[in-house]
Structure 1
Amino acid sequence: MQADTTWDRFAGWERWPARILLALVAILVAFSAVVPISASRGHPHATPPTVAAALKKHPNERPRDADLALYDRVIERVANGDNYYRVVAEEHRAQRYPLRPAMAVRLPTLAFAEAAVGVPGEIVAAILLLALTLIAWWRRLAEEPGAARYRLVAMALLLTNASLGLNRTFFVMHELWAGMLLALAFGLHRPRSATRPGRYLGALIAAALALAIREHSLPFVLLMAAMAAWRRDWREAAAWSALVVIFALALSWHLQQVTAVTLPTDVRSAPWIALRGLSGFLSNTVLSGSLRFLPHWIAGPVVILTMLGWAGWRSPAGALGTLFYGGYGTAFMIAGRPENYYWGVMIVPALLIGLAFAPRALVSLVRAARRDGPQSAISSIG
């Protein structure tokens, strides 16, 4: 029986394009094994201070990381009825944290939510969010071309990083919740096709919650709008575009509130444009997830092969994953200082799903590169 290659993007590739891509992958794998993976300058592949503290001590028995302690104090004071923006200004000023530009101050959504529900509510919310994410992806993998045979492996890889969402040490971290919500939105989304109607309401709600918590979710929303427009699904494109407009208005209001409590003497943030290249992508994705436990020379190549897996999976999920993770990865190469490694939490929860498809993609690419004769135009379609 002939194997089904309809979901294998590289199966029908011509010899020379396959050889070029294979050479590029080999170069990236080699470089990823040696480029610095660091949370701060001068400490390659060091375990981030926040993560190291979480691994070594119980949350109730140790001093909090400076960032997390700041969020703790803000949430506590908001719970006591203080004005969020006045509290943020005072706490940032006291700790010499930047208040300028206004984008340096987090959106108030998470502080209000956690002040309202407390730690017990946070625990319930984290468990529920993880459960919904696992269910959403279990169902999506059952429906995507070629995914059924890899579903158990993909789910195990999903759980590897998504389970970090249950670490109560980081419940006050905005990226933790936003990243999990984006993974849920990805799993819930079903693009419209010739054989089935699209389903995007659940994904839209999850992404809207992520956007309300962390503005770094905006590229995902813009990507969803662009892909819907590419499919000529104008109703879905309009829904995602409306979310962008609503968020722009809310962000504008937030920035005005921050500006109103800012003084000319307040600390200004250092530039976020750092141009760290491949090191930026790898540092953010490795140190923000479970790959940090692996040796440097393994963790880096795993990220590259994961991206190959997404790219080689010819399916709606494969296309979205390639653009989603590739887009954020490119952004991490350009923006974000070494201490901003935790931005990677925005994408790591479901990132490793692509690794389940990497062996098939690599074998297919090698076969195409070794092919004796050119493929017909018909076999290359797709």
Structure 2
Amino acid sequence: MIALRTHSSQLPPWAGWLAVGLAGLLMALLLVVALGRPPPVASGPEGAAAAGDLVSYQRIVERLRAGADYYVAAHEVLVADGFGVTSVFNWRLPGWASLMAALPDGWLQGGLAALAVGGLLLVYRMLRDDGPLVAGLASLAVGLSLAGIAVPESAAFSEVAAGTLILVSVAAYGNGWRWAGLAAGLAALFLRELAAPYVVVALAMAVGRRQWREAAGWGIGLAAFAVYFGWHWWRVIGTIVAGDPGYVEGWIQFGGLDFVLATAGFNGLLSLAPEWVTALLMPMALLGLWAWPKGGRALWTVLAFVALFLVVGKPFNAYWGALYTPVLMLGLGWAPAAIVAGIAGARETRGR
């Protein structure tokens, strides 16, 4: 492990221990948030709202299978279930629900599981030259994050599908398959507009590296998505009628670390662990992504989502974390090397 050259190997000795110190500070802050929460109440309004999202989405799919138009079905269900519908951002894009309705039961979940396995294989291939410990730890962590797909209800969350595609995109880039990475990233965006932070990161990296053909590909994809979202907006506006319910509060909530911790906890099998476990793992994973010499894409992706969720998102939207937690878990493979490098840097600094 000590022989591994981390990102801090190219920086002054103090950079490693400073990064470890900042990770420790973040860990302390997240632990304060986690341990300061009141005990969860199963029947609380946040849990009811999150469960309501899933149940309502399944009811929309049932209507689609019966031949209903997506926007008519969504309007009926959302209004009947007490959701606000006057903002287009309260309406999901129709793609994932249409796929669920078109395929027999279990097929979409099976396809999603196959995609997750493919992503996991790409992760191992990307990291195998970094040594068995790094590749093994990262693959195990990512595998635990993706294992939630085994739960049938998970297939209803377009965030799970989009997050899996984002992981596949990051891993494809890590293996040198840029066009496959671009295709997977755009597919994630067309499934869930909340995948936009990853697309922005990928476009910025392409421009920064002067990879103009790739940047053009992202630009064309974004233009196509703008047309698609414009059509979606037009359909929503045409479906809303006078007297439809809306929300007094918008999506700008400034939930801060409290909401970020909640999203980081929506993380496959790790969702079953106490919240303090997430408070420990998230800073370690971020530290590992920073230490990983080729981890820039993954790190900036996670930071982009974290920055967004510091501001945007209601308490019951914790499942949005599925968009970035598989990529976040990549960092656990490099976390031990980062800690070792930080300790070594601190000793070298003290010895001067």
Query: Normalising to structure 2: TM-score of the pair?
Result: 0.90
Cα deviation for residue 166 of structure 1 reads 2.3
The within-5 A match list for 1:332-371 is 332-371=309-348
Q: Structure 1 residue 283 and structure 2 residue 259: aligned?
A: no
Cα distance in 2 for residues equivalent to 1:368 and 1:12: 12
The within-5 A match list for 1:1-382 is 4-5=3-4, 7-36=5-34, 43=38, 65-142=51-128, 146-190=130-174, 198-269=176-247, 270-315=249-294, 318-372=295-349
Consecutive aligned runs of 4 or more in structure 1 exceeding 2 Å deviation = 2-5, 11-26, 42-53, 146-149, 287-299, 372-375
Contact in 2 for aligned 1:76/1:115 (Cα 8 Å): yes
Amino acid at match of 2:25: I
The equivalent of 1:378 in structure 2 is none
Amino acid at match of 2:160: L
Q: How many residues align?
A: 350
Contact in 1 for aligned 2:267/2:322 (Cα 8 Å): yes
Contact in 1 for aligned 2:34/2:276 (Cα 8 Å): no
Cα deviation for residue 327 of structure 1 reads 1.3
Cα distance in 1 for residues equivalent to 2:111 and 2:210: 36
Cα distance in 2 for residues equivalent to 1:130 and 1:236: 25
Cα deviation for residue 18 of structure 1 reads 4.5
Tell me the alpha carbon deviations over residues 25-84 of structure 1, each in whole angstroms, 9 at most, x when there is no partner.
22211111121489xxx755678989999xxxxxxxxxx932222111211111222111
* Structure with the largest fraction of helix: 2
Contact in 1 for aligned 2:30/2:279 (Cα 8 Å): yes
Cα distance in 2 for residues equivalent to 1:13 and 1:288: 32
Cα deviation for residue 140 of structure 1 reads 1.5
Amino acid at match of 1:248: A
Sequence identity of aligned pairs in percent? 26
Tell me the alpha carbon deviations over residues 165-186 of structure 1, each in whole angstroms, 9 at most, x when there is no partner.
2211221111111111111111
Change in CA separation of 1:47 and 1:287 when aligned onto 2, cut-off 3 Å: farther
Query: Normalising to structure 1: TM-score of the pair?
Result: 0.84
Tell me which moved more, 78-87 or 14-23: 14-23
Name structure 1 gaps, 5 residues minimum.
54-63, 192-197, 376-382
Cα deviation for residue 357 of structure 1 reads 0.8
Cα distance in 1 for residues equivalent to 2:220 and 2:83: 34
Helix, strand or coil for the counterpart of 1:371? helix
Tell me the alpha carbon deviations over residues 328-376 of structure 1, each in whole angstroms, 9 at most, x when there is no partner.
112111111111111001112232121121111012122213324899x
Amino acid at match of 2:189: L
Cα deviation for residue 326 of structure 1 reads 1.4
Cα distance in 1 for residues equivalent to 2:41 and 2:15: 38
Amino acid at match of 1:170: S
Cα distance in 1 for residues equivalent to 2:324 and 2:318: 12
Cα deviation for residue 17 of structure 1 reads 4.3
